[in-house]
Chains A and B, each alone.
Chain A
Amino acid sequence: MIYKDSKPVLEVRGLRATVNGVEILKGLDFTVKSGEVHAIMGPNGSGKSTFAKVLAGHTAYEVTAGSVIFEGRNLFELAPEERARAGVFLAFQYPIEIPGVANSQFLRLAYNTVQAQRGQEELDPLEFDDFVREKMKLLEMSPDFLGRSVNEGFSGGEKKRNEILQMALLDPRLAILDETDSGLDIDALRIVSQGVNRLASRENAIVLVTHYQRLLNYIVPDFVHVMDAGRIIKTGDKSLALELESRGYDWVAADHQAAAVVS
C-alpha cells in the first residue's frame, strides 16, 4: 500500500552490473518506499533476476556503476550475510537443496543468527519449534517439513512455501521474491500469495519479480515496472500488468525507443 509519509527503503540510481564481463544491468533507477508492493516484469533476459541477485549480493555479479541505498546505508558496503541481517531478503527462484541438514536446524540457525545481529532474543530448539509451527500455519505447511532435509525432495510448490516461511521468520524490511510464482499450481499459488499478503505491512516493502500477471491477481502491486535490456523503461499501476498480459512486451520497448528518439 502507498503511504504518503513513508520513507524510502531502497533507492537505486544508475545501477550497472556485469556477469562474466557482459553488462546485464545498464543504468537502472528504482525506488521503493516502506509499505509498498512493487512488481518488476519483463521478458526473459531483461535482467530481472540479475537485479534481484545483485541486491542480495551474489558474488558472480560485478557492480560497475551506480548506487544502492538501503535504509540510508550504502548496500554495497555490506556482505550478503550482513544484508540479510540488516533486513534484505531474497526468495530464490531455485532454492538450494541441502541434504543432511534438517530444515528445522537450518531455519533455527538462520533465525538465531539474524536475531543475534539485531540484538534480539535467540530461541532454543523447543521455543523455536513452537514459534516456527505457528508461522508454518500461515503457509499451510505440515510439520513434517521440519524434520526433512532442507528443500531435499521438496516439490516446486513446497520449496517456494519454504522460502516464504524463511521470509516470515527473518522478518525483512525489504523482500524480493524472484519468480516465486514459477512452478506453482493454482492452489500453491493461492497459499503462497496469501502468506505474502499476511506478511506485508507498513514496516516492510515487497518487490515481486515475475513474468506473468497471474501472480498479481493474488498479490496486488502498487506499482508495476517493465524492465528491458537492463533498465526500467516504464512504470505504471496494476493496470499496466493487465495491459502487458494482453499486448505483450514489444510495444513498451517500441514506445520507449520512440520517446528516446523524440527527446
Chain B
Amino acid sequence: MSTVRSIRRPATGFLETLLEGKPRLRTSPPAWVDALRAEAVRRLDALTVPTLHDEAWRFTDISPLTRLWLRPVRSVTDLHAAEIAQFHLEDTATRLIFVDGVYAPHLSSTLTEGGVMVANLTSADTAQAATIEPHLGRHAAFSGNVFAALNTALLQDVAVIVVPRNVTLAAPVHLLFIATQADVASYPRCLLVAESGSSVTLIEDYVALQDGAYFVNPVTEIALADNAHVRHTRVQRDSVKAFHIGDCAVSVGRSSNYQSVSVALGAQISRYNLNVLLAEGAECVVDGLALIAGSQLADTHTSIDHAQPNGISRQLHKCIVGGSAHAVFNGKVMVRPGAQRTDSNQSSRNLLLTGKAQVDTKPQLEIFADDVKCAHGATIGQLDNDEVFYLNSRGLSDSVARSLLTYAFGAEITDRIPVASLKRRLGLRMLEQTGSRP
C-alpha cells in the first residue's frame, strides 16, 4: 500500500487496519477470553475514532495518529537484559516485561506462590483463571470507548497480579512496557486483583528504546476488594513522537484505599483516562503530573465516582507546559444520590513556562447528595517573580532559579511516588527536562 493512501485513509479505515492484526493472535486457553475479544470486535463496529467534535476530545486532535501507517507487531525484538538495565528499579522484586506489547518471559521475574500471581495471563492455571475471569474486561467498560474496545479486541498478553486475602506484597511489582519498533501498534493490558485485606504497590512504566512514531494503547484494570490497599504509579515516558492513549479503571471496595500517581513526560500526543469507582468508606488519592514541552500534547481525563457514602477522595493534578505544548486536564468528581458524608478535594495547578504554552483545565463537581464536603479549584500561572527574586537574592542566576522552581513544582507530585528508586530516577529526568542542576 502506498503512503499516499495511508495519509488519506479515513479514521474508520484506521480501526480496520489495526484490526487486521486480529487473526494473528494466538487462541488463548480460556474460551472466555476469546468471547471477550469477540464482544469487543462487535462493539468496535459501532464505534468511530473520536474527533474534535466529541466533547471528551475537543482539545485533543488525534488525526495525526489516524494518518500513521501502523502495523501489528509481527516479529518480537530480542532484547538482552543489559539493554534494558537502565530501566531496572532496584527496590522491585518481581517484574513483568513486555516488548512492543509482547510478553518477554526471559526478561521477567514472575511470582506464583501462596496464591499470589504475578505473571502473564497465558500461564494462569484453572484456579487462577477462575479468579481472573470475573474481572478482566469487567471494569474498563469498552462499549462506548473505542480505544478500550480496540485493546480488548486485540487482547493477547496480560500482566496479571493477584494478591490473595490478607497478603501484603512488600516489594513493588514493576510492569515495564518497552517500545522498540517504529510504526507499530501495541496493546498492553494489566489486571490487578487485590483481595480483601491485601496490600500491593504497582508500577506501570512505559518506556522506549527508539525515537520513532508508534502507538501504545494500554488498558489497566484494578479491583480492590474490601479493606485492601493499592499504591499505583504510572509513568509514561514514551518517545516524543509516540502516540499513547491509555485507560485505567479502578474499582475500590469498602474501606479500601487506592493511591495513584501518574506522570506523563513523553509522547507527541498522550491521553490518559482514569476512572475510579468508590464503594462505601473507600478512599482514593489521585495525583498527576504532565511535564511537556516542544509541540507535545498531554491530556488527562479523570473521573472519581463516589457511588456510596463516607468516601474520601483527594486529587492534585499539575501540568508544567513549555514550548508550544498543550496540556489538557478534565477531572470529574461525581457524588451520587445517597453518597452522604463524601469528602472530596480536587485541585488542578498549572505552570506555563512560555507565552505559547497552553493549558485547558476543567475540574468538574457533580453532587447529588446533600451532606457532603467537596472542594475544587484550578490555577494557571507562570513562575512567581517573588520566588525567582528570592533565589536571585541568594546568588542563583535567573535561569537556575527558574529551573529550580519548575523542578520544585513538579517534585511535589513525584515526591508522592512510593518507590524510592523510581522517584530518584524521575527526579533526575525532571532536572534534565527543566535544565536545573542543584
Contacts and interface: CB of A to CB of B under 8 A. Distances in A.
B394 A100 contact: no
Given A81-B398, A113-B395, A117-B395, A59 B390 contact: no
B398 A98 contact: no
A80 B397 CA distance: 8
B438 A57 contact: no
Nearest to A60: B385
Interface string B413-435: 00100000000000000000000
Contact of A84 (B387, B393, B405): B393
A96 B398 contact: no
A18 interface: no
Contacts of B394: 84, 106, 110, 113-114, 166, 170
Given A59-B385, A101-B438, A106-B438, A84 B408 contact: no
A99 B392 contact: no
Contacts of B407: 100-101
Nearest to B389: A58
Interface in B326-367: none
B412 interface: yes
A100 B415 contact: yes
B228 interface: no
B171 interface: no
B393 A100 contact: no
A218 interface: no
Give the dominant DSSP class at B's interface: helix
A9 interface: no
Contacts of B387: 96, 98
A56 B392 CA distance: 9
Contacts of B390: 92, 95-96
B76 interface: no
B393 A56 contact: yes
A170 B396 CA distance: 12
B54 interface: no
Contacts of B411: 99-101
Interface in B191-231: none
B392 A79 contact: yes
A182 interface: no
Contacts of A96: 384, 386-387, 390-391
B392 A57 contact: yes
A100 B386 CA distance: 17
Given A96-B390, A100-B411, A105-B438, A85 B404 contact: no
A95 B408 CA distance: 16
Contact of B392 (A84, A105, A117): A84
B266 interface: no
Interface in B50-98: none
Contacts of A85: 395
Contacts of A186: none
A28 interface: no
Interface string A112-143: 01100100000000000000000000000000
A19 interface: no
A58 B384 CA distance: 12
B409 interface: yes
Interface residues of B, number: 26
Contacts of A92: 390, 393
A129 B400 CA distance: 22
B392 A110 contact: no
A90 B395 contact: no
B433 to A, nearest CB: 14
Contact of B409 (A80, A81, A90, A100): A100
A183 to B, nearest CB: 17
Interface string B365-396: 00000000000000000001111011111111
B137 interface: no
Contacts of B386: 96
A2 interface: no
B395 A170 contact: yes
A93 to B, nearest CB: 11
A60 B409 CA distance: 23
Contacts of B385: 59-60
A18 to B, nearest CB: 16
A175 to B, nearest CB: 12
B396 A110 contact: yes
Contact of B397 (A81, A99, A170): A81
A96 B396 CA distance: 14
B404 A98 contact: yes
B410 interface: yes
Contacts of A58: 389
Contacts of B405: 98
A77 B393 CA distance: 15
Contacts of B404: 98, 101, 106, 109
A96 B389 CA distance: 10
Contacts of A166: 394
B194 to A, nearest CB: 30
Nearest to A90: B393
Interface string A134-178: 000000000000000100000000000000001000100000000
Contacts of A98: 387, 404-405, 408
Nearest to B411: A100
B438 A80 contact: no
Interface centre among B385, B394, B398, B400 (most CB of A within 10 A): B394
Interface string A78-89: 011101110001
Given A98-B405, A101-B408, A109 B392 contact: no
A58 to B, nearest CB: 5
Nearest 8 CB-CB pairings of A with B: A100-B411, A80-B392, A100-B408, A110-B394, A96-B390, A84-B395, A114-B395, A113-B395
Given A81-B401, A95-B390, A110-B396, 16 more contacts: A57-B389, A59-B385, A60-B385, A80-B393, A81-B395, A98-B405, A98-B408, A99-B411, A99-B412, A101-B408, A101-B438, A106-B394, A106-B438, A109-B438, A110-B394, A113-B396
11 contacts: A60-B385, A80-B393, A81-B395, A81-B396, A84-B395, A92-B393, A95-B390, A100-B410, A110-B391, A113-B400, A166-B394
Interface of A: 56-60, 79-81, 83-85, 89-90, 92, 95-96, 98-101, 105-106, 108-110, 113-114, 117, 149, 166, 170
